[in-house]
Amino acid sequence: MTEFKPLVFSGVQPTGNLHLGNYLGAIRKFVALQENNDCIYCVVDMHALTAQLVHEDMATQIRSITAAFLAAGIDPEKHIVFNQSQVPQHAELAWIFNCVARIGWMNRMTQFKDKAGKDREQASLGLYAYPSLMAADILVYRATHVPVGDDQKQHLELARDIAMKFNMDFHDKIVPTGLGIDIKVGEEPVHAYFPMVEPLIDGPAPRVMSLKDGTKKMSKSDPSDLSRINLMDDQDAISKKIRKAKTDPDALPSEVDGLKGRPEADNLVGIFAALADRSKEDVLIEFGGQQFSVFKPALIDLAVNVLAPINAEMRRLMEDPGHIDAVLRDGSARARVRAEKTMNEVRDIIGFVR
């Protein structure tokens, strides 16, 4: 059975400050994956228009995410780092996917429901179609693996549904042109043009929670800055936020089972484990039986050690926007070549004259 060549793709929106959730759920995994994979990392600026059209600081935000990628350790020469709007093939494939995806599928997207809120009539059409553009981001490179936080899981399932329907609906066109590849879907061998993307959500912190409420996701939009650690926070801010983080009065358990029903403790242990590249089990072997008065200072030290160099490098890079723009232009040019190859094949499969 032929398989798709493994290719990693992921994206981050240039909206608001990056926080520890983005770093542990996504960017830190991006860095680790480049060791053994071909990777494409994208600043998804067109997605940023879906919730709010006008952004006074769009360019700065795009550069800041790019700076975070580079400062965290992504190599833009070995891999590809670019911004979505410089590769128009994403939008072109998204249109085709808008015609593949069914309205019933889109209506099930919980993130649309959350983001649109009560006044759904006032949400943009782009917000509704957002997951279709996200599927196009990935599939325009026929990427196979997508590192993301847990909140993107449903969107990746939709990307699989879109890929599957395209493969099935155009099956008669794919097979004779030989453009597809044999893959296994469950037990079934299928001749497919698009791969079934695999989400990479594992690790000890797939969903980093608010420091103020362990039942709420850490998010850019939380009105309280104390709820999150921003990648641009300095040492004092990191230390203050962890000291003030909500906890319960008990000591840490010695086993992971003991974290059940203790969302704040679970969150802080998960953050520690992810920052130290250890498992939660391993962290609890060290800290089980200890009070938060012991654990929190250790977490502060660790967080500062990991984040301070990234923070400093981001600031340094942000002083040279010309360099960042050159990285994005170079990455975009390389991405366009790959995306255009896919689009030519998609145009042929569909039967567009070119």
Q: Does 140 bind ligand TYM (CB under 6 A)?
A: no
Residue count (the chain): 354
For residues 299-328, which are near ligand TYM according to CB under 6 A?
Answer: none
Angle ∠(218,227,114) on CA atoms, nearest 5:
45
For residue 208, the Cα-to-chain-centroid distance in whole angstroms is: 13
Residues 183-222 as x/- pattern, contact with ligand TYM by CB under 6 A? ------------------------xx--------xx----
Closest to ligand TYM by CB, 41 vs 287, is 41
* Residues 291/268, Cβ–Cβ less than 8 Å: no
**At residue 306, what is the residue type?**
V
For residue 224, the Cα-to-chain-centroid distance in whole angstroms is: 23
Q: Is 115 known to be catalytic?
A: yes
Residues 100-119 as x/- pattern, contact with ligand TYM by CB under 6 A? --------------------
> At how many degrees (to 10) do helices 58-72 and 321-350 cross?
90
**Sequence-separated (6 or more) residues with CB below 8 Å from residue 18:** 12, 27, 64, 65, 68, 230, 231, 232
For residues 13-32, which are near ligand TYM according to CB under 6 A?
Answer: 13, 21-22, 25-26
Q: Which of 217, 241, 280, 296 is catalytic?
A: 217
Closest to ligand TYM by CB, 26 vs 232, is 26
Q: Does 129 bind ligand TYM (CB under 6 A)?
A: no
| Residue of this chain nearest to ligand TYM (CB atom) | 25
Q: Which of 173, 212, 220, 341 is catalytic?
A: 220
Q: Please state the closest distance from residue 311 (CB atom) to ligand TYM, in A.
A: 18
Element (H, E) at 146: strand 145-147
Q: Which among 68-76, 150-158, 174-182, 252-260 is the span making contact with ligand TYM, rule CB under 6 A?
A: 150-158
For residues 220-279, which are near ligand TYM according to CB under 6 A?
Answer: none
Q: Is 244 known to be catalytic?
A: no
Q: Does 66 bind ligand TYM (CB under 6 A)?
A: no
Q: Does 148 bind ligand TYM (CB under 6 A)?
A: yes
Q: Please state the closest distance from residue 354 (CB atom) to ligand TYM, in A.
A: 27
Q: Where are the alpha helices (H) located in the chain, listed in sequence order?
A: 20-22, 28-33, 58-72, 89-100, 103-107, 110-116, 125-139, 153-169, 171-177, 235-244, 263-276, 280-287, 292-318, 321-350
DSSP assignment letter at 36 = T
* Residues 351/96, Cβ–Cβ less than 8 Å: no
Q: Please state the closest distance from residue 304 (CB atom) to ligand TYM, in A.
A: 20
Measure the CA–CA gap between 85 and 87, rounded to whole angstroms.
Answer: 5
Q: Does 139 bind ligand TYM (CB under 6 A)?
A: no
Tell me which residue has tokens 């420091």.
211
Q: Please state the closest distance from residue 353 (CB atom) to ligand TYM, in A.
A: 30
**Which residue among 149, 180, 214, 253 contacts ligand TYM (CB under 6 A)?**
149
Measure the CA–CA gap between 46 and 139, rounded to whole angstroms.
Answer: 16
Q: Please state the closest distance from residue 198 (CB atom) to ligand TYM, in A.
A: 12
**Which residue among 146, 174, 310, 324 contacts ligand TYM (CB under 6 A)?**
146
Q: Does 142 bind ligand TYM (CB under 6 A)?
A: no
Angle ∠(338,342,343) on CA atoms, nearest 5:
115
Binding site for ligand TYM (CB under 6 A): 9-13, 21-22, 25-26, 44, 47, 134, 137-138, 146, 148-149, 151-152, 155, 207-208, 217-218
Which active-site residues does the annotation give? Answer: 115, 217, 220
